[in-house]
Amino acid sequence: MACDLITIQISMMTRDRLKQLGRKGETLDQVVNRLIGMAKKNEWFE
């Protein structure tokens, strides 16, 4: 089942920072989802 895609506006600096956090072959969507998972694991969200 494919997910619907949307467009969000981020600055070029934010995009570049996300790219730096990414692993080889990882999409920005995957980077963001990995970071969300890490944040939840570290109880940044309640």
Q: Is the residue at 40 inside a domain? A: yes
Q: Is the residue at 17 inside a domain? A: yes
Report pLDDT digits (tens) over 1-46: 578 999 999 999 999 999 999 999 999 999 999 999 998 888 766 6
Q: What is the pLDDT of residue 46?
A: 60
Taking the C-alpha atoms of residue 28 and residue 10, their distance in angstroms, rounded to an integer, is 12
Domain ranges, residue 18: 12-44
Give pTM, 2 decimals.
Answer: 0.77
CB contact set of 30 (below 8 Å; sequence gap of 6+): 22
Q: Is the residue at 6 inside a domain? A: no
> Looking at the 3D structure of the chain, how many domains does it have?
1
